[in-house]
Amino acid sequence: MPLPSSALRTSLAVALGAVTLLTSACATESTYRPATGRGFERSGYSDRQIEENRFQVSFSGNSYTSRDTVEKYLLYRAAELTVQRGYDYFIFADRDVDHRSRVYSTPSFSGGYGFGGYGFGGYWGPSWRYRGRGFGWRTWDPFFGDPFFDRGVDIDTIDKYEANAEIIVGKGPKPKDNIKAFDAREVIHNLGPSIVTPK
């Protein structure tokens, strides 16, 4: 038996609300956890030992993770790794933050640049063929308007940060004259409350 229109509207509203909640739940910063994914989709921390007291550490955020958070999680991971290995302090031998971007179009379009058709005065001119939402293949040339933005194609840039460091670990008090040296337990104590782990 078909639902009455008010019940149908209520059901649709509940379904839409659930989808919105699910979407917004996914759109959050990376949590502090071991890395998953590959390439541009990679998120989380990783490390590897280079020498007895030297390690490479990295933290890669997702597209919602700020540079500050990525750097904070790298610092926390360096401190955590130092303590796990039985050391007291670490020194940054090298540290860098990579910024990568990807450009997406919604809907995606493909096309090519070429010369074709006659423009004003009978001259050959540049033209584009592209495919977009709801209108199939189209042709554009400079005499007849904007190639993308007047036809419902959205262009988005996704930014992503990855922090990388090489650390040297040691035992005892940190060297007081080295500004790149950190007391691992103090870092964990101070940053710990702001570290978000998976639930």
CA distance 29 to 48: 24
The DSSP secondary-structure symbol of 116 reads E
| 59 and 161 Cβ atoms separated by less than 8 Å | no
Helices (H), the chain: 5-26, 67-84, 184-191
pLDDT digits 0-9 by tens, 71-107: 999 999 999 999 999 999 999 999 999 988 877 666 5
> One-letter amino acid identity for 124?
W
Q: Provide the residue-wise pLDDT of the chain in tens; the chain has 199 residues.
A: 555 555 555 554 444 444 444 444 457 889 999 999 888 888 999 999 999 999 999 999 998 999 999 999 999 999 999 999 999 999 999 999 998 887 766 655 444 444 444 444 444 555 555 555 555 565 555 555 555 544 555 667 788 999 999 999 999 999 999 999 999 999 999 999 999 999 8
The pTM of the whole model exceeds 0.85: no
pLDDT number for residue 139: 59
pLDDT number for residue 100: 86
pLDDT number for residue 118: 45
Give the start-end residues of each E strand in the chain. Answer: 44-51, 54-60, 89-106, 111-118, 124-132, 136-140, 154-170, 181-183
pLDDT number for residue 39: 84
The answer for residues whose C-beta is within 8 angstroms of residue 115's C-beta and 6 or more apart is 124, 125, 126, 127
pLDDT digits 0-9 by tens, 164-179: 999 999 999 999 999 9
